[in-house]
Structure 1
Amino acid sequence: MTGDIRALLARHLPGYQVRTIVPLGQGLDHTVSEVNGELLIRLPKAADPEAVRQEAARLAAVAELSPLPVPEVVFADAEAGVLACRKLPGRPLNEHPPPDPARLAGPLGRFLGALHAADPGRMRDLAPLDLYPAPALLQDAELDYRDVEAHVPVDQRALVERFLAEPPPGEPRSLRFCHNDLGAEHILVDAATGTVTGVIDWSDAAVTDPAHDFARLYRDLGPGFFELTAAHYPFPLTGDDRARIRFHARCALIEDLAYGLSTGPRHYADAALAHLARTFS
């Protein structure tokens, strides 16, 4: 892998001096390495040239929209399936929560407002439609829950089971361009100053229900933080919007719990269990 990265850098950044290459980890589709503490190189397990071209174009468009920093593409090698971005400062919010998380609500509310204000027709060229219906999502959540039910504290199972027995919410009034996976692990923060330093991982971005973006904040940071963020969001949120946000937060928590107890890192399950009571109450 190190040799592949050196060859890529020699081709795309001739004269660039490589001092260190540090593997950071891997997901289902990619491995990521850090070069010189300043570049992140994503290598595919199977090259998808069109996906790389689309993601590079998406990041360029998002950089124009977003009031918060997003990854800057240094080079994209579509045929090799490689994307190289400049590393943003800060640490993931789930790893290093700042002393006063409430300070993040304003920047994140304005960020979501800018994102959701984008013309969805224009963004459809850069991000797919996500039209997975709520009834199917609820069915998936119930199947996941039955797999992990034994790991849920006995006194909290009724909360989840009551949710699973309720009808799903209705469809959104409109679809908007969304990050679509705005969990705490994708929000970078300077823990010392409590400022947001970037929003990363735009691979799941889609034109979809904007409730998805609020739902991850609700799940990871709580209903109170969600309300603080909503107060800085420039568009009104109706009772129906809030019902969909709660619904997607709860489905996402069950999904994380099942993922963390099966093929994913354990910390996903630990966080899901820690946040279960407040998310389903």
Structure 2
Amino acid sequence: MPPSAESMLREARENGLDLRDQYEIDQSGWDYLVLHATATDGADWILRAPRHTDGLYLPAEGRLLDHVRPLLPVAVPDWRINTGTLVAYPKLPGAQADMRWTPTDDLLGRTIAIMHALPTEPVRALGVPVFTPDGQRKWIADLIEQARAEYVIADERLRRWQDWLDATDRWPPDMVLARGDLHPQHLLVEGGRLVGLIDWADATIGDPAMDFTDPYANFAPAVFERLLADYERHGGHVWPGMREHIALRASLEPVINGLYGVETGRTDLIEQAREQLSRSR
């Protein structure tokens, strides 16, 4: 049964968190129903419940958060309740960024660089999924084949993707801890400045470019170039062809959205994907 606000509040109370009945529901996420609630002592809390429990979520997320919390210059959630069907943590400072947010300093680039420099063996031991370069390419190729079964995809788009998948020398040889899905709704900002990163369920040891696809799609070109410069200045590796590689990863968005639309019956996503994938670019 899908979660509801009432079932989430009830489970929180069963686990020792007494919340007031007033709350705000956030339906924007694909994977989780989120409540913004206040405890009887006045503290603000975030509650998350998976919309379906079919293994799509990162079981190691809580352990990963504990691992990176003291290592990053921005805040991450501190899970106080984790039952498998409910996560609850004290609300972090800041508010979710909107699509118009532009970094005012180098903190985003610095944070990504620090994360990518972390040793991967301890992260692997936490149970975070691991991709090799070949595994990344196979995952993408499988997504494209699934999309071809559902949508008409322009020949030029397919050719560009196939050339990219075949050109193994254009892919990064070293996999890193990649947060993945750095969409504005997962960035907490205060006074224009990044202060936190939430919702780490998409984290993997994988392609570092995954942490640049959302900034590439949402930032103005000059802002994106500044982000890459900040990343490199703080020790991140910018390899030849990285910009094109990021752009090609970003071009998969209609595939991912379109397949999710088919899975969930979201006609808006299906129509959008159909229109986008029929174009050469």
Say whether the fold is shared (TM-score over 0.5).
yes
- In the alignment, is the contact (CA less than 8 A) between 1:215 and 1:248 conserved in 2? yes
Match of 2:97 in 1: 92
Displacement of 1:52 in angstroms is: 7.6
Q: Deviations over 1:112-168 (max 9, x none)?
A: 011111110000123111343325514634763785569xxxxxx787456335342
Match of 2:200 in 1: 202
- In the alignment, is the contact (CA less than 8 A) between 1:93 and 1:189 conserved in 2? no
Amino acid at match of 2:11: L
Displacement of 1:11 in angstroms is: 3.6
After TM superposition, the structure 1 = structure 2 runs for residues 1-281 of structure 1, keeping only pairs within 5 Å, are: 1-13=4-16, 16-25=18-27, 30-36=32-38, 38-45=44-51, 54-78=60-84, 81-88=85-92, 89-94=94-99, 97-98=100-101, 101-103=102-104, 106-126=106-126, 127-131=128-132, 132-134=135-137, 137-138=140-141, 140-141=143-144, 144=147, 147=150, 160=157, 163-164=160-161, 166-168=163-165, 169-170=167-168, 171-190=171-190, 193-233=191-231, 234-256=235-257, 259=260, 263=264, 264=266, 266=268
C-alpha change, 1:265 and 1:218, in structure 2 (3 Å) is farther
- In the alignment, is the contact (CA less than 8 A) between 1:68 and 1:196 conserved in 2? yes
Q: Deviations over 1:42-78 (max 9, x none)?
A: 22455589x7862211111121222122222232224
Match of 1:239, SS state, is: coil
Q: Judging by fraction of residues, say which structure has more helix.
A: 1
Distance in 2 of aligned mates of 1:194 and 1:28: 26
Amino acid at match of 2:175: L
C-alpha change, 1:188 and 1:66, in structure 2 (3 Å) is same
Distance in 1 of aligned mates of 2:77 and 2:269: 25
Match of 1:153 in 2: none
Amino acid at match of 2:202: D
Q: How many residues align?
A: 261
Amino acid at match of 1:93: D
C-alpha change, 1:143 and 1:38, in structure 2 (3 Å) is same
Distance in 2 of aligned mates of 1:201 and 1:17: 22
Q: Deviations over 1:261-281 (max 9, x none)?
A: 88459589879x99xx9xx6x
What stretches of structure 1 of length at least 5 have no aligned partner?
Answer: 151-156
Match of 2:212, SS state, is: helix
Match of 2:107, SS state, is: helix
Distance in 2 of aligned mates of 1:213 and 1:66: 15
What stretches of structure 2 of length at least 5 have no aligned partner?
Answer: none
Amino acid at match of 1:87: K
Bigger shift: residues 126-135 or 261-270: 261-270
C-alpha change, 1:258 and 1:52, in structure 2 (3 Å) is closer
Q: Deviations over 1:166-214 (max 9, x none)?
A: 3424242211111022223322334xx3212321110011111111111
Distance in 2 of aligned mates of 1:116 and 1:176: 5
Distance in 1 of aligned mates of 2:118 and 2:78: 19
Match of 1:133, SS state, is: helix
* Alignment RMSD: 3.8
